[in-house]
Amino acid sequence: MKRTGKIYTYTIVYSTSEDFKDKTPYALAMVEENGCRSVGILDGYDGKKTVKIGMEVDFSREDKEGCPIYTLA
């Protein structure tokens, strides 16, 4: 079953530690899904895509720590 949510708020990360340097910029979003909010990465963000509050996102998977990863719908 497909899980979708909407972006409640977000931030674009341009400066980070050495561990994530090759992944910047990346987007973190607080996503509202069925009345619950969680923070996750927006997979596939490359600095050129538009991200807006209220945009729909699809749940993709969880990372190894159990944090959600979303993709732009």
For the chain, give every domain's residue range: 4-72
pLDDT of residue 32: 97
Write the CA distances from 3 to 13, 24, 56, 73, integer angstroms.
25, 26, 10, 11
Q: Which residue has the higher pLDDT, 50 or 73?
A: 50
DSSP, collapsed to helix, strand or coil, labels residue 57 as strand
Q: Tell me: the pLDDT tens digits for 11-57?
A: 999 987 888 778 789 899 999 999 999 999 999 888 888 999 999 99
Task: Give yes or no for residue 73 having a pLDDT over 80.
Answer: no
- Burial of 71: CB neighbours in 10 Å, binned 0-12, 13-18, 19+: middle
Strand 68-72 relative to strand 36-43, pairing:
parallel
Please give the model's pTM, rounded to 2 decimal places. 0.85
